[in-house]
Amino acid sequence: MTTVTTRVPVAGPSARPGSKAKRHYATHLVLLVLAVMWLLPLGWSLYTALRPIESTNEHGYFSLAGPYNFDNFVTAWNQGGFSKYFWNSVIITVPTVLLTLFFASLMAFAVSRVSWKFNVTLLILFTAGNLLPPQVLAAPLFQMFKHLDLPYWFSDSGSLLNTYISVIVVDTAFQIGFCTFVLSNYMKALSQDLTEAALVDGAGIWTQYWSIIMPLCRPAFAALGTLEVIFVYNDFFWPLLFIQSGDRLPVTTAINNLQGVFLSNYNLLAAGATITVIPTLVIYLLLQRQFVAGLTLGSSKG
Amino acid sequence: MPRTRKVRRLSTRDKVILAVMVAVPTLIELAFVWLPTLFSIGLSFTRWSGLDLTDIRAAGTDNYKFVSQDYPPFWPAVQHNILWLVFLALIATPLGLLLAVLLDQKIRGSRIYQSIFFVPVMLSLALVGVIWQLFYQRDNGLLNFLLGTAGTPAAVDWFGDSNVNIWAALIAATWRHAGYVMLLYLAGLKGVDPALKEAAALDGANAAQTFFRVVFPAMRPINIVIVVITIIESLRAFDIVYVINRGTNGLELISALVIQNLVGEGQVIGVGSALATILLVISLVPITFYLSRTFGKEAKES
């Protein structure tokens, strides 16, 4: 049911031949007003970020006086340590997304292409898991990681706390539920004949999974992959909980600390916020179709 | 039944592979999602400093008594969570529906409007908090300037003033939620059979009647998803209030109280877990509703 549709609304409203072409002035007016309101917060950040603090100190924030340049971005990048935070985001996001898709595809295959007793039970377990508020599991996970003794060559905290692995593992576990749900619906829609035929030819389970079903799921992987990159990049909570040393935080969580650091310089904070937005915008512009498809594929996700 | 026959045809090797395919993701899900959930419930009946595992003491229902009777921020947090839900349900979600209906018409620039309304959906709520901080700021924010109050004693510190900050946070959250709802409804509207609308028009229904009596009920599956998303989002709300002031001073939410009791000085794990368990119990209502809708039929069939 929640695999609402794979048809994507990016193509714009479908033209129905025969219907009268209306002008829709009122609609445009409402949409224009709302669109301007929608862009104000982001536009204001960008505008503030482009002005040096000297010029806003002199003329005030609500002035048009120049100059405009990218100095705040450079300063925020260097002072704020964005290159490090972005790298942390990459270290966390790439393995999480790959592991999530891999494990979810295994599970989805097993519950959708092979019929056995606990199919639905397992799917419910996974889907429900993804819908829980993360704060519900925060305390036990934190304590589990804290009390797990690890050798110091592996982790300088002596436990899983303050490691990238803690975030990767929990993000993966949390996202598997969602991806399993979406992929299993996708796989169910593929014809049973595909694997029946292979079965007659003597293909084992692994061949069915790897050589027949997986290649057919490429569109779903593209959509889910894009969506998951954005989800994991945007994840604020798990790094906040597990990672104590500031220089290991991914950029989305680090921006919270930078608020304090840049408090005296509003223009730098604006530049930092804008820099943090850029990767998501780039992904969206490049992979718009996949991203929107992913969201509608699995509209159970908040 | 042909399906059971299929399972019997599996070779031993296939059964082993299948078992691994199911076991690995299931163990991850159990270990990092469901086991911690159970631990949360367990810990809520104990007293523990989090230091040594042997220090855990049974506490009966003391934590719950404390939370409901002697913990000042608890009831305000419950009220705020309810307010959050009502606001999203009555303002943000209908706004998203309105956007979808307007954009579903044959109008120019639909794609551009869609992209504008959709940009916030790609941002983390933590970042939304930072961006709106710039917009709402007392002395240098755009809103006070637009209201003509900037630099005067009448300037409102939108995120700092405990009388207004919950509303300010809700508007920032709406900025993101409405775009998401719009996208889902756009997909839903595409799925409505145009013949239905034409039939209604032939019967003399006007646009509003057609929408509320024909189109809206026809989108029932999407409506259910939207209801569930709205409830779950309001229970999960955390990032934005945490970024603003760690969920204090007018922005108390249950999720934020959980974290306040788990990190920082004087970890009160029992109390934090009791709050987490309360959050869990409330969340189970929409989750169960959603799962029974989604899997109810399948469970009966198998």
Whole-model pTM?
0.87
Probe site for chain B from A31, A34, A234 (most B CB atoms < 10 A): A31
Instruction: Write out the two tokens for A12.
Output: 């714009």
Residue of B24, B137, B262 with shortest CB distance to A142? B262
When pLDDT is cut at 50, 70 and 90, the band that residue B206 belongs to is confident
Residue B263 and residue B258: Cα distance in Å, rounded? 9
When pLDDT is cut at 50, 70 and 90, the band that residue B298 belongs to is low
CB contact under 8 A, A302 and B233: yes
Instruction: Output B151 or B57, whichever has higher pLDDT.
Output: B57
* Amino acid type, A35: A
**pLDDT for A93:** 96
CB contact under 8 A, A137 and B33: yes
- Please, are residues B237 and A236 in contact by the beta-carbon 8 Å criterion? no
Spell out a b/e string for A227-260, using b for 16 or more CB atoms within 10 Å of the CB, else e. bbbbbbbbbbbbbbbbbeeeebbbbbbbbbebbe
CB contact under 8 A, B29 and A62: no
Neighbours of A97 (CB within 10 A): 25
Task: Check pLDDT > 70 for residue B105.
Answer: yes
Residue A172 and residue A292: Cα distance in Å, rounded? 21
Task: Check pLDDT > 60 for residue B6.
Answer: no
Instruction: Output B171 or B13, whichever has higher pLDDT.
Output: B171
Name the DSSP class of A135.
G
Residue A256 and residue B127: Cα distance in Å, rounded? 8
Encode chain B in three state secondary structure: CHHHHHHHCCCHHHHHHHHHHHHHHHHHHHHHHHHHHHHHHHHCCEECCCCCHHHCEECCCHHHHHHHHHCCCHHHHHHHHHHHHHHHHHHHHHHHHHHHHHHCCCCCCHHHHHHHHHHHHHCCHHHHHHHHHHHHCCCCCHHHHHCCCCCCCCCCCCCCCCCCHHHHHHHHHHHHHHHHHHHHHHHHHHHCCHHHHHHHHHCCCCHHHHHHHHHHHHCHHHHHHHHHHHHHHHHHCCHHHHHHHCCCCCCCCHHHHHHHHHCCCCCCHHHHHHHHHHHHHHHHHHHHHHHHHHHHHHHHHC
Residue of A21, A104, A120 with shortest CB distance to B25? A104
Nearest CA in chain A to B300: A120
What residues of chain A lie within 8 A of the CB of B115, using their CB? 288
Residue B72 and residue A116: Cα distance in Å, rounded? 51
Instruction: Output B64 or B159, whichever has higher pLDDT.
Output: B64
When pLDDT is cut at 50, 70 and 90, the band that residue B179 belongs to is very high
- In order along its 302 residues, chain A shows pLDDT tens digits of 233 333 333 333 444 444 445 667 888 899 999 999 999 999 988 988 888 877 777 676 777 767 777 888 888 888 888 889 999 999 999 999 999 999 999 999 999 888 777 888 999 999 999 999 999 999 999 989 988 888 777 777 778 888 999 999 999 999 999 999 999 988 988 888 877 777 777 778 888 889 889 999 999 999 999 999 999 999 999 999 999 887 899 999 988 888 777 777 888 888 988 999 999 999 988 888 888 787 777 654 33
Instruction: Output B86 or A188, whichever has higher pLDDT.
Output: B86
CA distance to partner chain A, nearest, from residue B154 (Å): 17
**pLDDT for A119:** 85
Interface residue B300 vs chain A (CB under 8 A): no
**pLDDT for A97:** 97
What residues of chain A lie within 8 A of the CB of B283, using their CB? 131-133, 136
Closest-CA residue to A226 (of A291, A168, A174): A291
* Amino acid type, B107: I
Nearest CA in chain B to A288: B115
**pLDDT for B267:** 67
- Please, are residues B173 and B92 in contact by the beta-carbon 8 Å criterion? yes
**pLDDT for A147:** 86
* Amino acid type, B153: P
CA distance to partner chain B, nearest, from residue A163 (Å): 16
Residue reference for tokens 């120049």: A66
- Please, are residues A277 and A62 in contact by the beta-carbon 8 Å criterion? no
Interface residue B130 vs chain A (CB under 8 A): yes
Closest-CA residue to B240 (of B172, B158, B298): B172
- Please, are residues B279 and B286 in contact by the beta-carbon 8 Å criterion? no
pLDDT tens per residue, range B14-60: 889 999 999 999 999 999 999 999 999 999 999 888 777 888 888 88
What residues of chain B lie within 8 A of the CB of A137, using their CB? 32-33, 36-37, 40, 276
Outline where chain A has alpha helix (H): 25-49, 53-59, 71-80, 82-113, 119-131, 138-147, 164-188, 192-200, 205-207, 214-216, 218-234, 237-242, 251-261, 266-297
Residue A117 and residue A134: Cα distance in Å, rounded? 30
Q: Which of residues 245-274 of B touch A (CB under 8 A)?
A: 254-255, 258-259, 262-263, 269, 272-273
Residue B52 and residue A29: Cα distance in Å, rounded? 63
> Which of these ranges, A40-49, A108-117, B213-222, B259-268, has the smallest mean pLDDT?
B259-268
Residue reference for tokens 């916020």: A273
CB contact under 8 A, B131 and A120: no
Probe site for chain A from B278, B295, B297, B300 (most A CB atoms < 10 A): B295
CB contact under 8 A, A205 and B131: no
Residue A243 and residue A84: Cα distance in Å, rounded? 15
Instruction: Output A12 or B249, whichever has higher pLDDT.
Output: B249
Q: Residue A115 CA to chain centroid, in angstroms?
A: 32
Spell out a b/e string for A47-85, using b for 16 or more CB atoms within 10 Å of the CB, else e. bbbbbbbebbeeeebeeeeeeeeebbbebbbeebbbeeb
What residues of chain A lie within 8 A of the CB of B172, using their CB? 41
